[in-house]
Amino acid sequence: MKIPLSYIFRNLWTRKLTTLLTAGGMGLVVFVFAAVLMLDAGLRRTLVSTGSPGNAILLRQSSQTEIQSAVYRDQASLLETLPEVARSPSGEPLASKETVVLISLAKRGTDKPSNIMVRGLPPSGLALRPQVRIVDGRMFRPGSSEIVVGSAIARDFDGVEIGERLRFAGREWTVVGTFDAGKSGFDSEVWGDVDQMMQAFRRTVYSSMIVRLRDPSDFDAFARRIATDQRLVLDVKREPQFYEEQSKSLSQFISILGVSLSIIFSIGAMIGAMITMYAAVSNRTAEIGTLRALGFRRASILVAFLAESVLLALVGGAAGLVLASFLQAFTITTMNFQSFSQLAFGFDLTARIVALTLLFSLAMGVVGGFLPSVRAARLEIVDALRAA
């Protein structure tokens, strides 16, 4: 295209209010689009980072979540003996038999209770989650009624300060520490001793079992062994895969709702771009005629106006993206459909999202500017010059 970029750029600069309003509209759409993608990415990152590739989780067959699952004591004992399970230097199997329940806690500032996941685990369970560290207070003592809360729980819920007591299952449990789990799903959990929890909830079976595999590649052999053993009617999954499935429902909901909304909103913004570009063509008809007379081709005219529309969209898109990037400072806590309990996650801006967002802006610019650009290109020289 031979028409200089300065012509395109300066035309946007001259009509500042129009450029601002049109780009602003597109920027808002982009903001929503980016925010939705970032939220979905944040959700997935939180959940996926919850699992280690070297760990496998065992649940009752067809259970969709740990709450629904049951692993019997004899099954658990048998699993511990399997060769694929890693062992500590002292020969202990790196396996954790856990129990998971939901309790109700009130979110800070409201009196409405929400479901929170409580996990009872043995000391070996802590070893299987190396990303978890105590940031305040200390870890609970095995065999006691002490509990520790994840950082998201500590931040968003009432009644979980160190020293405070929670009452459930007919007992009082003292909060002795807060832990950070690297922004994973565990940050939204409360942890305590598995045997104490089993007693209090009068349970005789575990909810789930987590094992560390000797080597991540041992998973297939491990799974096959379980599939062929009649006594072990269990589902086994790699921990990351399990958590990814946990996010599917909510993730789908967020993406589908969000992307549909963005597309609908973009129609409004593109109409705005179309109005602006039609006005630009109309105001500059004489210029178009002059350029054509001087020898510029129809195609150059079309590309020049399309470029103007695209530039408008990209400016708006960049602004929307910058605004969206500030969302990374926020976390939201809501119920994960699959696990039926509260999950805290944030907004994650990835390179892929930046690329997708810019592409989306580009598309808005092209679609919004297309018809007006065609009109500009189709003008006959003498008619256009007459407008002067």
Nearer to another protein, 108 or 138 (CB): 108
Q: How far apart are CA 372 and CA 381, in angstroms?
A: 17
Relative to beta strand 341-346, strand 146-150 is: unpaired
Out of 46, 52, 99, 114, name the contact with another protein by CB under 8 A. Answer: 114
Helix (H, G, I), strand (E, B) or coil at 155: helix
Q: Is residue 230 near another protein by the rule CB under 8 A?
A: no
Binding residue for another protein, selected from 45, 48, 49, 68, defined by CB under 8 A: 68
CB of 202 to another protein, least distance (A): 8
Alpha-carbon span 303 to 297, nearest angstrom:
10
Residues contacting 388, CB < 8 A, separation 6+: 286, 289
295 binds another protein (CB under 8 A): yes
Which of 78, 134, 323, 332 forms a contact with another protein (CB under 8 A)?
A: 332
User: According to the binding rule CB under 8 A, does residue 335 interact with another protein?
Assistant: yes
Other Cβ atoms closer than 10 A to 116? 25
Q: Which is nearer to another protein, 95 or 277 (CB)?
A: 277
Q: Are 39 and 329 in contact (CB under 8 A)?
A: no
Tell me, residue by residue from 130 to 169, as one string, x for binding to another protein by CB under 8 A and - for no binding.
Answer: --------------------------------------xx
Instruction: Identify the residue among 115, 174, 199, 255 touching another protein (CB under 8 A).
Output: 115
328 binds another protein (CB under 8 A): no
When binding is defined by CB under 8 A, the residue of 134, 139, 275, 374 that contacts another protein is: 275
Q: Where are the alpha helices (DSSP H) in the chain?
A: 5-14, 16-48, 73-81, 123-127, 151-156, 194-200, 219-228, 239-283, 285-294, 298-325, 351-378, 381-386
Cβ nearer to another protein, comparing 80 with 337? 337
> What span, in angstroms and rounded, lies between the C-alpha atoms of 177 and 149?
7
Cα–Cα distance measured from residue 39 to residue 222, given in angstroms and rounded to the nearest whole number: 35
Count of residues touching another protein (by CB under 8 A): 80
Give all strands (DSSP E) within 122-170, no chain letters. Answer: 133-137, 146-150, 165-168
Site for another protein in 341-360 (CB under 8 A): 342
**Interface with another protein (CB under 8 A), residue from 90, 91, 143, 202:** 202
Alpha-carbon distance of 199 to 203, in angstroms, equals 6
Positions 367 through 386 that interact with another protein (CB under 8 A): 381-382, 385
Which one of residues 14, 81, 90, 228 is an interface residue with another protein (CB under 8 A)? 14
> Applying CB under 8 A, which of residues 283, 326, 328, 350 lies at the interface with another protein?
283
In the complex, least distance from residue 142 CB atom to another protein, rounded to whole angstroms:
22
Instruction: Report the nearest approach of another protein to the CB of residue 328 (Å).
Output: 16
- Output the smallest distance, CB 265 to another protein, in A: 6
Candidate segments 47-55, 289-297, 304-312, 350-358, binder of another protein by CB under 8 A: 289-297
- With H, G, I as helix, E, B as strand and everything else as coil, classify residue 94: coil
Q: Is 10 in the site for another protein (CB under 8 A)?
A: yes
Where in 24-63 is the site for another protein (CB under 8 A)? 24-25, 28-29, 31-32, 60-63
Which residues have a Cβ under 8 Å from the Cβ of 298 and sit 6 or more positions away? 292, 377, 378
* Residue 22 found at the interface with another protein (CB under 8 A): yes
The DSSP code sequence of 210-225 is EEEBSSGGGHHHHHHH
